[in-house]
Amino acid sequence: MSNSLPLFHVIAGKPVIVVGEGEAGEARRRLVERAGGVIVGEDNAEARLAFVALDEPEAAVARLKARGLLVNATDRPDLCDFTVPSLLERGPVQVAVGTGGVSAGLAKWLRLRLEALLPQSLGALAEALGASRAELRKRYPSGAERRRALDSALEQGGPLDPLDPDSASRVANWLAGVTAPVPGTHEIHLRSADPDDLTLREARLLGTADLICHDAGVSDEILARARADAIRCVLTKGQNIPEISGTKVILRAP
């Protein structure tokens, strides 16, 4: 289980301390500037984040942490409050691959493999969907209905499949005729505790369901594939499935 919570921290226009030497220090400066941060010295009182790239970072890290800053120390995960992922960017879409500082090389090569899979048009698709939010909200005031409509469009082979380079050009036509699918109840009988044994359909249902009800024996690894904000319940004998307007998935232990 990971000991980190991935977050995207907005630093555009904000002061960020960088204490560093050589190429490692320059790399951290480029990283901050690329995200629009303002690089400042160690004595800055307004900064909340700091990067330390020194051969012996302990003293600088201790000083900065004593002031309440969150600190990253290059190649020293034991001193880090946060680590820096390998980042893939497609306009507003960012995919961060991290290993909690365990292996930066692995994160880099996973990101490079993803680079080959995700089309450059992905950013344009995100921007088109962002521009359509008001119209989609007007058509579907219910968040559950909007989510189902988008899930249906963005799924593999859907009209807005993110891996299709032409999807961005189809957003307007999709929005003109969009119809949210009717929610249903789906029962999945698991074959093992390994999430790799899920079929594509089962993984898609888990990732889009509004309610997950499961036997007590379903593994945490399987449940981790579900939406984090989905309602969950553990099934007991004689228990009724909660009534909600969204899609329900019932997971049966192997």
Residues annotated as catalytic are 215, 237
CB 127 within 8 A of CB 91: yes
Q: How far, in Å, CA of 200 to CA of 53, rounded?
A: 43
In the structure encoding, which two tokens stand for residue 176, read together?
Answer: 């003109």
Torsion sign over Cα 207, 114, 162, 126: positive
Q: Is 96 helix (H, G, I), strand (E, B) or coil?
A: strand
CB 73 within 8 A of CB 52: yes
